[in-house]
Amino acid sequence: HAKAAGRNAYRFFETSMNTNVHNQLQIMQDLRLALERKEFRLHYQAKYDAANRRVIGAEALLRWQHPERGLIAPDHFIALAEKSGMIVPIGEWVLNEACRQMRTWYDAGRTEWKVSVNLSAVQFAHDNLVELVKATLERHRLPARCLILEVTESTAMQDVETSLSILNRLAGLGIDISIDDFGTGYSSLLYLKRMPARELKIDRGFIRDLADGTDDAAIVSAIIALGHSLDLHIVAEGVETEKQQDFLTELGCNSLQGFLLGRPMAPEQFQALTTMQVDPA
């Protein structure tokens, strides 16, 4: 059912995007209302340590709880939110909500966890991003080390010098910068070297068919070696099988994320998943 609903939602947005300006304005209007009506939700997907399989944090993933269409995935509305500029207030909501949630985990003793938040290029171009992040952390009395901001290679490539300056200021706050979907963009190694990143996430396109002796295995092990030589923490996304998990662990990947351990889920379910984790004595 969820799949069918997702397809319908996709058709709705795709068709709308191909029709007229009026329709686009309608969706943009809906997005604005959605914020006022509090229809956005964050789901959380666990990120875990490859070596000991313990949860080390979660990625916040945006969902739109549409009154008629049900739960809509971000791929179906982020582009329009970016186009209309609505991604700026929506992104502000995401950041605040993720930090609020991280604060409750922190208070529950998960002081070593980090919450990851995705940033769009449009938010990145907004010059008050650094102040926003700083103010949000302060609002929730959250240590900066509990926050990771994920940017894609292409986000950061739009205006290299400006991006580097913003990223440096963000890193200066003490948060971690993560390069999302690594391997799908076209950033140069020189640029990667200049990025103040702590983490590199291997795109799930390389993980899907991972097996001994494949091209993907060669690429993934090269990315891990490159990342480690630049002192980066390596995360694999889209881990769906035990085989992928074991292989990635063997290759020295630091952390894993994927349906194998847990799908993105509502905070209450996420709570249930992680309380099953037994704390060491």
Q: Which of 240, 241, 251, 267 binds ligand C2E (CB under 6 A)?
A: 240
- Residues 107-136 close enough to bind ligand C2E by CB under 6 A: 118-120
Q: Kindly state whether residue 31 participates in binding ligand C2E, applying the rule CB under 6 A.
A: no
Give the interface size with ligand C2E as a residue count (CB under 6 A): 24
Task: Give the nearer residue to Mg ion in terms of CB position, either 153 or 180.
Answer: 180
Q: Kindly state whether residue 258 participates in binding ligand C2E, applying the rule CB under 6 A.
A: yes
Task: Give the nearer residue to Mg ion in terms of CB position, either 97 or 181.
Answer: 181
Q: Which stretch binds ligand C2E (CB under 6 A): 10-18, 21-29, 68-76, 189-197?
A: 68-76
Task: Give the nearer residue to ligand C2E in terms of CB position, either 207 or 224.
Answer: 207
Q: Residue 139 CB: number of other CB atoms within 10 A?
A: 12
d(CA 93, CA 219): 37
d(CA 127, CA 28): 23
75 contact, one of ligand C2E, Mg ion, none, CB 5-8 Å limit per kind = ligand C2E
- Please write down the HEC assignment for all residues of 93-107: HHHHHHHHHHHHHHH
Sign of the four-CA dihedral 275, 276, 277, 281: positive
Q: Which of 149, 180, 183, 197 binds ligand C2E (CB under 6 A)?
A: 180
Burial degree of 23 (CB within 10 A; 0-12, 13-18, 19+) = middle
Task: Give the nearer residue to ligand C2E in terms of CB position, either 30 or 244.
Answer: 244
Shortest distance, position 181 Cβ to ligand C2E, whole Å: 5
Which residues on neighbouring strands pair with residue 182, listed in sequence order? Answer: 202
Helices marked H in the chain: 2-18, 21-36, 78-84, 87-107, 121-125, 129-139, 153-157, 160-173, 189-194, 204-207, 215-229, 242-250, 267-275
The answer to whether the CB of 130 falls within 8 A of the CB of 166 is: yes
Task: Give the nearer residue to ligand C2E in terms of CB position, either 115 or 195.
Answer: 115
**Of the candidates 115, 44, 72, which has an alpha carbon nearest to the alpha carbon of residue 267?**
44
- Residues 160-179 close enough to bind ligand C2E by CB under 6 A: none
Task: Give the nearer residue to ligand C2E in terms of CB position, either 45 or 84.
Answer: 45
| Footprint of Mg ion (CB under 5 A) | 118, 150, 180-181, 237
3-state secondary structure of 267: helix
The answer to whether the CB of 128 falls within 8 A of the CB of 95 is: no
Shortest distance, position 181 Cβ to Mg ion, whole Å: 4
Q: Kindly state whether residue 61 participates in binding ligand C2E, applying the rule CB under 6 A.
A: yes
Q: Which stretch binds ligand C2E (CB under 6 A): 14-22, 74-82, 161-169, 189-197?
A: 74-82
Shortest distance, position 19 Cβ to ligand C2E, whole Å: 23
Task: Give the nearer residue to ligand C2E in terms of CB position, either 28 or 190.
Answer: 28
Which residues on neighbouring strands pair with residue 116, listed in sequence order? Answer: 59, 148
List residues near ligand C2E by CB under 6 A: 45, 61-62, 73-75, 78, 91, 94, 118-120, 150, 180-181, 204, 237-240, 257-259, 264
